[in-house]
Amino acid sequence: MDIHTILYVESDGSYSKIYLQSEEVYLVTKSIGEVEDVLETESFYRTHRQYIINLNFIKDYVRGDGGYLIMQNGKTVPIARNRKEEFQMLFARL
């Protein structure tokens, strides 16, 4: 699996679901923290305790309390309130 095709990763307990650009979904036996360690590149950002997103596949950013993202596949991904400011600075550079 090419990590550049990952849209986002969603936590599912001690597992993680990896959503690809091809619409395939993989369930892996790693926590989201373990997946985050593998994906430590400039393209990925942990928006919430349950989500890691690929910044290259953001379709829209909706501001609000914490706000949320609309990904290329239409999925909405929340941004935790305590990560909002950091994300906005990062998003401004995209």
Domain limits of the chain? 3-92
pLDDT at 82: 92
Q: Around Cβ 10, how many Cβ atoms within 10 Å?
A: 19
Which secondary-structure segment (H or E) carries 60? Answer: strand 58-62
Angle at 41 between CA 35 and CA 44, to 5 degrees: 65
Strand-strand pairing, 68-71 and 76-78: antiparallel
Per-residue pLDDT reduced to its tens digit, 33-75: 999 999 977 899 999 999 999 999 999 999 887 799 999 999 9
CATH of domain 3-92: 2.40.50.1020
Are the C-beta atoms of 46 and 19 separated by less than 8 Å? no
Rounded Cα distance between 8 and 34, Å, is: 14
Structure tokens given for 79: 């941004």
